[in-house]
Amino acid sequence: MTLLDAPPPKPPRKIGRYILMVLAVVVLGSIAYIVFRNFSEERAISHFLTALERGNYQEAYRLWQPSATYTFGDFLHDWGENGDYGKIRNFKILGSQSKGQDTVIVIVSINGQQPPAALVVDRRTKGIAFSPF
């Protein structure tokens, strides 16, 4: 057998590279899920508080999606300029936590007041309410 008759070398195995790529995708996907799973509920709170900040109380009341017993007057008593937080000047969403399949609690600092407010968002309707938790 001469040098020219030798079998070609076997290509290096690339399975290790594929396993590493799959593992990286799974880890990055898990991190993205944890970070962004409540994004739309946090955005609903942001739209609500922005409407209040602009003084658009009718829009904020619509976003609240109140029950029939919670009138616009009740809403203004809670969220109007003479409400618990006064005129909304600024807010910051501090975080969120899922409670079951249909509920997300969003923690938000309003006008820098302590303790921060906890508002509940329904995942399906994006309706907002005060948190009982």
pLDDT at residue number 3: 63
**All domains of the chain in start order, with CATH:** 38-130 (3.10.450)
Q: pTM, whole model, 2 decimals?
A: 0.76
d(CA 29, CA 15): 21
- CB-based contact 52:79 (threshold 8 Å): yes
Phi-psi domain of 65 (left: phi exceeds 0; alpha: psi -120 through 50; beta: other)? left
Taking only the tens of pLDDT, the chain with its 133 residues reads 666 777 777 777 778 888 889 999 999 999 998 888 899 999 999 999 999 999 999 999 999 988 889 899 999 999 998 888 889 999 999 999 988 889 999 999 999 888 999 999 999 999 998 888 6
CB 104 within 8 A of CB 97: yes
Q: Is 100 left (phi over 0), alpha (psi -120 to 50) or beta?
A: left
